[in-house]
Amino acid sequence: MRIAIVGCGQLSRMLALAGIPMGIQFSFVNDNGAPDTVCVDGLGIIANWQAGDSAAELFEQLGRPDCVTVEKEQLDVSLLLALEAHCPVYPNSLAVSACQNRHREKQLLQQLGIPASPYTVGESASATLTSLSLPLVAKSCSEGYDGKNQWVIRNAQDAAEFDAACAGDDYIIEQWIPFEREVSQVSVRGRDGTICHYPLAENTHTAGILSRSIAPAPDVNPAMVLQAQDYMQRLLEELDYVGVLAMECFVTPSQLLVNELAPRVHNSGHWTQSGSVTSQFENHVRAVAGLPLGRTRMHGVAGMINLIGTAQAPLQAMSGNCTVHWYNKSVRAGRKLGHVNFSADNLAELQAEMARFTASAGDTILL
Amino acid sequence: MRIAIVGCGQLSRMLALAGIPMGIQFSFVNDNGAPDTVCVDGLGIIANWQAGDSAAELFEQLGRPDCVTVEKEQLDVSLLLALEAHCPVYPNSLAVSACQNRHREKQLLQQLGIPASPYTVGESASATLTSLSLPLVAKSCSEGYDGKNQWVIRNAQDAAEFDAACAGDDYIIEQWIPFEREVSQVSVRGRDGTICHYPLAENTHTAGILSRSIAPAPDVNPAMVLQAQDYMQRLLEELDYVGVLAMECFVTPSQLLVNELAPRVHNSGHWTQSGSVTSQFENHVRAVAGLPLGRTRMHGVAGMINLIGTAQAPLQAMSGNCTVHWYNKSVRAGRKLGHVNFSADNLAELQAEMARFTASAGDTILL
């Protein structure tokens, strides 16, 4: 069994590290022309590809994989379409395409009756002021993640400035949601249609980048858990989705509003490596390989802290309750270089342990 | 941080797979002259060594590791002694030496007042009949594992045959113990002297090879748990041991008798990959790297079935409660080619799941 993954980043690394113990082999597509494949060096075949290259040749270079999957949505969907002629691609190109563009994502949610924030597309910010109320958030349709390419529009002057700067660009403009907090639902669907849900995680962002997660999300109304699972089931079935899908939601007093979908394993699910019977990485591998899914049940409570711009792996700050994951990437401010998973018997113990870690790791971590 | 491991088998593979997520790098010493390094291919540097080769050159070829450890006790201790001049070796050469020879092991246990079966050394089986009562078990001092190189002596004729066949060989002759069952204690000691114990596991053998384990060992007298931990603590401290040590014991009505020590991660601790907060592999890596140890507490109950001579990885027989580990070794009857870890909420569920697996895997597994 050989699985090829489009992308050479830390998510590909952790997918491979979850599948190698089962004897599964991996190949990686380096599709961004960057020489930095350090996350996956040694873990399998690495093949370069760029727009215009032959997919048939790539398929051979990848060692004729049994299936192809992805670690990211920002990729050339024509590559997935071309590879689909050689082997199954999970999730399918339609699902990746729907999630890589904010407008198509909004249309999908609307079509399935899944609540999301109201928006305009193809309209200027100034025109949007007549249909939506301030504040607004303008987001690039195709290139936004980790808070990049987002404009907050608080007044008419902001709107005019945005229109002057971004006229003709491809963006949507959303009503800003006064949310209480952000949670995410990570779920997995097997080739046979079986669906397993992880518990909701609560996420905290720093400067637009996910900085920490806690699961299960504290004080969540049980009806909201069911709502998240219901949204997920509709999405997974509509897209005939195979693998892990992540859904970020805003918690509002009345309901969950979907903020964003990611057709892949997700940073807000990294805690599953320590906190669940089966991690999101192992379950994605099991799903795309056509194997029975593993249980998603938790052990106690779990947490995750991202190591952003951290100079070196803070291994000495580990304790019995936590494990550092380090991606071997070159250090750069604002870059996700690793994460730490925490497990504990209860929320108070978890929070104390996360506080102890950040105090102990001190200057080595930048959060 | 780079760790070199003497040996290229599945234990080295699983140690590396536990350390790579932390960003630790690995090197492997292929010290048996065999070309088969398939278990660790791709996971780090592989360097060949045989008696007479320079340890200094080996140290360079291994990439100047921060420390050296072992995946087996049957190795040339002079290699460890020579490497100790370049970097720390954990466990130290004295500990490995004590565990690689049954006579030295018996002496160590005796010196620490740890109960083991009575034995003779340097005496013929016929002479031993005068001091120990039948049946007896003769074991090669240095080359026995998985039941190999063991003779059961049931009567005077067996004794005479053994003496004729093995005169001059290096062996001990033990009183055979009418044990109720075999359990094993796996523990780990950090560089700072911290000790963590895993729960006792109950082991079942088939034709002298471990075929399955269940943890925690059912119906164990709590005093016996403390006894096992007490034996372990005495051994770990006496040997100034760093890393995982495994101790196989016979359960008798009155006490635990130590059967065998292994100065390394052990097959009877493989269940910790699914069943504990931290696996024996991760904890061995943490110990030898001088990092804080991880918790050894269990999630529910756990089990392990060895895949012996199995034609191919029985991935389709997995369920939500189990994960296959496959070593990529060439298939041979009687060879350990992988194992399956099971986790469940209680013993009845665990046993049902293990029975389901063996039924479902059917002809593909040979146990």
Digit-coded pLDDT (tens) for B204-225: 998 888 999 999 999 998 999 9
Check A20 against B21: CB less than 8 A apart: no
A45 touches chain B (CB under 8 A): no
B326 touches chain A (CB under 8 A): yes
Of A20, A294, A328, the CB nearest to B23: A328
Give the distance, in angstroms, between the CA of residue A14 and the centroid of all CA atoms in the same chain. 13
Check B315 against A1: CB less than 8 A apart: yes
* Whole-number Å distance between alpha carbons of B320 and A201: 21
B118 touches chain A (CB under 8 A): no
A220 touches chain B (CB under 8 A): no
Check B277 against A325: CB less than 8 A apart: no
* Whole-number Å distance between alpha carbons of B283 and B240: 17
pLDDT confidence of residue B331: 87
pLDDT confidence of residue A84: 96
As given in the structure block, the two tokens for residue B351 are 């046993």
Check B291 against A1: CB less than 8 A apart: no
Phi first, then psi: give them for residue A59, nearest 5 degrees: -60, -40
* Whole-number Å distance between alpha carbons of B30 and B15: 15
Judged against a pLDDT cut of 90, whether residue A13 lies above it is answered with: yes
Tell me the shortest Cα–Cα distance from B100 to chain A, in angstroms.
29
* Residue partners of A175: CB distance under 8 A and separation at least 6: A117, A118, A119, A132, A133, A136, A137
Judged against a pLDDT cut of 80, whether residue A318 lies above it is answered with: yes
pLDDT in tens, A110-142: 999 999 999 999 899 999 999 999 999 999 887
**Chain A residues closer than 8 Å to B319 by CB:** 292
pLDDT confidence of residue A44: 96
DSSP B100: S
pLDDT in tens, A256-275: 999 999 999 999 999 999 99
DSSP B130: T
Judged against a pLDDT cut of 70, whether residue B248 lies above it is answered with: yes
CB B305 within 8 A of CB B333: no
Tell me what the mean pLDDT of segment A231-244 comes to: 98
B21 touches chain A (CB under 8 A): yes
Classify strands A181-189 and A201-206 as parallel, antiparallel or unpaired. antiparallel
Buried b (16+ CB within 10 A) or exposed e, A321-357: bbbbbbbbbeeeeeebbbbbbbbbeeeeebbebbeeb
What 3-state class would DSSP assign to B140? strand
Report residue B32's pLDDT band, with 50, 70 and 90 as the boundaries.
confident
* Residue partners of B20: CB distance under 8 A and separation at least 6: A17, B26, B43
**Chain A residues closer than 8 Å to B325 by CB:** 21-23
Closest residue of chain A to B195, computed from CA coordinates: A320
Q: Which fold has domain B118-175?
A: Dna Ligase; domain 1 (3.30.1490)
Tell me the shortest Cα–Cα distance from B89 to chain A, in angstroms.
20
pLDDT confidence of residue A149: 75
Check A23 against B323: CB less than 8 A apart: no
Check B318 against A292: CB less than 8 A apart: yes
* Whole-number Å distance between alpha carbons of A61 and B98: 50
Task: Please give the class, per CATH, of domain A181-364.
Answer: alpha beta
Domain with CATH 3.30.470.20 in chain A: 181-364
* Whole-number Å distance between alpha carbons of B43 and A44: 10
Closest residue of chain B to A320, computed from CA coordinates: B294
Closest residue of chain B to A196, computed from CA coordinates: B320
* Whole-number Å distance between alpha carbons of A154 and A314: 40
A351 touches chain B (CB under 8 A): no
* Residue partners of B107: CB distance under 8 A and separation at least 6: none
**Left (φ > 0), alpha (ψ -120 to 50) or beta: where does A203 sit?**
beta
A338 touches chain B (CB under 8 A): yes
Closest residue of chain B to A318, computed from CA coordinates: B292
Other Cβ atoms less than 10 A from the Cβ of B123: the count is 17
Tell me the shortest Cα–Cα distance from A160 to chain B, in angstroms.
48
pLDDT in tens, B267-285: 999 999 999 999 999 999 9
Judged against a pLDDT cut of 80, whether residue A307 lies above it is answered with: yes
Check A321 against B44: CB less than 8 A apart: no
Maximum CA pair distance of chain B?
59
Check A325 against B299: CB less than 8 A apart: no
* Whole-number Å distance between alpha carbons of A102 and A80: 19
Check A316 against B292: CB less than 8 A apart: yes
Q: Which helix (H) or strand (E) holds A16?
A: helix A10-19
Other Cβ atoms less than 10 A from the Cβ of A298: the count is 19
As given in the structure block, the two tokens for residue B84 are 């100790």
Q: What is the percent of chain A where pLDDT is above 90?
A: 81
Domain with CATH 3.40.50.20 in chain B: 2-89
**Chain B residues closer than 8 Å to A28 by CB:** none
**Chain A residues closer than 8 Å to B293 by CB:** 320
Alpha helices in chain B (DSSP H): 10-19, 55-61, 77-83, 93-99, 102-111, 125-128, 156-166, 222-238, 272-275, 280-288, 347-361
Tell me what the mean pLDDT of segment A23-40 comes to: 90
Closest residue of chain B to A42, computed from CA coordinates: B42
pLDDT confidence of residue B284: 98
Of B22, B42, B295, the CB nearest to A324: B22
Which residue, among B299, B312, B325, would best test binding to A if mutated, counting the most A CBs under 10 Å from its CB? B299
A295 touches chain B (CB under 8 A): yes
Omega prior to A91 cis, within 30 of 0:
yes
**Chain B residues closer than 8 Å to A42 by CB:** 42-44
Query: Which residues sit opposite A120 in a β-bridge?
Result: A173
pLDDT confidence of residue B6: 97
Domain with CATH 3.30.1490.20 in chain B: 118-175
* Whole-number Å distance between alpha carbons of B69 and B283: 13
Phi first, then psi: give them for residue B362, nearest 5 degrees: 55, -130
Check A292 against B22: CB less than 8 A apart: no
**Chain B residues closer than 8 Å to A273 by CB:** 21
Q: Which of B289, B239, B253, B299 is nearest to B73 (CA)?
A: B239
What 3-state class would DSSP assign to B208? coil
pLDDT in tens, A159-213: 999 999 887 788 999 999 888 899 999 999 999 999 999 999 999 998 888 999 9
pLDDT confidence of residue A363: 57
Check A325 against B289: CB less than 8 A apart: no
* Residue partners of A80: CB distance under 8 A and separation at least 6: A6, A68, A70, A89, A92, A93, A96
Q: Which helix (H) or strand (E) holds A78?
A: helix A77-83
pLDDT in tens, B100-147: 999 999 999 999 999 999 999 989 999 999 999 999 999 988 775 555
Judged against a pLDDT cut of 80, whether residue A326 lies above it is answered with: yes
Report residue A64's pLDDT band, with 50, 70 and 90 as the boundaries.
very high
pLDDT confidence of residue B364: 55
Q: Which of B240, B102, B224 is nearest to B171 (CA)?
A: B102
Of A42, A273, A292, the CB nearest to B319: A292
pLDDT confidence of residue B148: 60
Check B320 against A295: CB less than 8 A apart: yes
pLDDT confidence of residue A100: 92
pLDDT confidence of residue A148: 60
* Whole-number Å distance between alpha carbons of A94 and A88: 13
Other Cβ atoms less than 10 A from the Cβ of B76: the count is 15
Query: Which residues sit opposite B210 in a β-bridge?
Result: B205
Tell me what the mean pLDDT of segment A22-48 comes to: 92
Judged against a pLDDT cut of 90, whether residue B87 lies above it is answered with: yes
As given in the structure block, the two tokens for residue A261 are 């979908």
Check A318 against B292: CB less than 8 A apart: yes
Tell me the shortest Cα–Cα distance from A335 to chain B, in angstroms.
16
* Residue partners of B363: CB distance under 8 A and separation at least 6: none
Check B338 against A23: CB less than 8 A apart: yes
| Residue A114 or residue B334, greater confidence | A114
Tell me the shortest Cα–Cα distance from B26 to chain A, in angstroms.
11
CB B73 within 8 A of CB B11: no
* Whole-number Å distance between alpha carbons of A187 and B131: 66
A344 touches chain B (CB under 8 A): no
Q: How many residues does chain A have?
A: 367
| Residue A34 or residue A87, greater confidence | A87
Domain A2-89, CATH: 3.40.50.20
A274 touches chain B (CB under 8 A): yes
Judged against a pLDDT cut of 80, whether residue B8 lies above it is answered with: yes
Provide the mean pLDDT of chain B. Answer: 92
pLDDT confidence of residue A199: 97
Check B22 against A196: CB less than 8 A apart: no
**Chain B residues closer than 8 Å to A325 by CB:** 21-23
Other Cβ atoms less than 10 A from the Cβ of A24: the count is 24
Tell me what the mean pLDDT of segment B304-325 comes to: 91
Distances (CA, A) of A251 to A147, A205, A233: 18, 15, 19
CB A58 within 8 A of CB A83: yes
Tell me what the mean pLDDT of segment A243-265 comes to: 96
Tell me what the mean pLDDT of segment B302-324 comes to: 91
Tell me what the mean pLDDT of segment A31-56 comes to: 91
